[in-house]
Amino acid sequence: MPTDETASPGDILERDHRELDQFLSELLNELASDAPDAVASYHKLDLFWARLAVHIRAEHVVLFPALLASAGEADRETLTSNLAELRHDHDFFMKQLARAVKALRLVPDFGNQPETFTVIRRLIDEVATRLTQHNHREEKTIYPRADRSPSTRSHIKKELTNLPNRFSSQ
């Protein structure tokens, strides 16, 4: 495995995919229990949502523009189309996770845990299924094309660590 100094932006983002998979697995395990804990579920969901958001931001702000800037004219149309599809997936993930967070916030106030957790599990399962396909596509078709410049690598690493302040103590 390459070190941080020699890793390509794609290597860094693939490693982040694995970390995100771990957070998602922990969330799914919590939600799969017979009596999920609302507070623990919320913290796991919130962390996964925030980590996925910074990952997506790194792709939108750094990776995708770098790919478009380095693409040849013949390749630009296909790349633009592929990136639009990935952005569409990103929108889906963020909307579904926002819905799950909103639903989970209602659990303590309304006591409708069984019904709410059923909805939340469905939302997270949809995200997990689509995320698996999405990540595979990125890793096979997008990340190998990433600019290997130290500047791109450092900007991606910076974006991946730019979590909201509520996570600064974790």
CATH of the domain at 114: 1.20.120
- Is there a domain that residue 69 lies in? yes
Task: Take residue 38 and report the two structure tokens written for it.
Answer: 């609302």
Residue 55 scores a pLDDT above 90:
yes
**Backbone conformation region of residue 3, classed left if phi is above 0, alpha if psi is from -120 to 50, else beta:** beta
pLDDT the model gives residue 2: 56
Per-residue pLDDT of 135-160, as tens digits, reads 999 999 999 988 777 789 999 999 99
167 in a structural domain: no
Residue 143 covered by a domain: yes
Tell which residue, 90, 73, 74, has the closest CA to residue 137: 90
CA angle (152 as vertex; 53, 150 as ends), nearest 5: 135
How many folded domains does the chain comprise? 1
Does the residue 77 lie in any domain? yes
Burial of 71 (0-12, 13-18, 19+ CB in 10 A): middle
Residues 70-125 pLDDT 10s:
888 888 999 999 999 999 999 999 999 999 999 988 776 666 678 889 999 999 99
169 in any annotated domain:
no
- The verdict on residue 3 lying in a domain is no
**What is the extent of the structural domain holding 64?**
9-162
Q: What is the mean pLDDT of residues 37-56?
A: 95
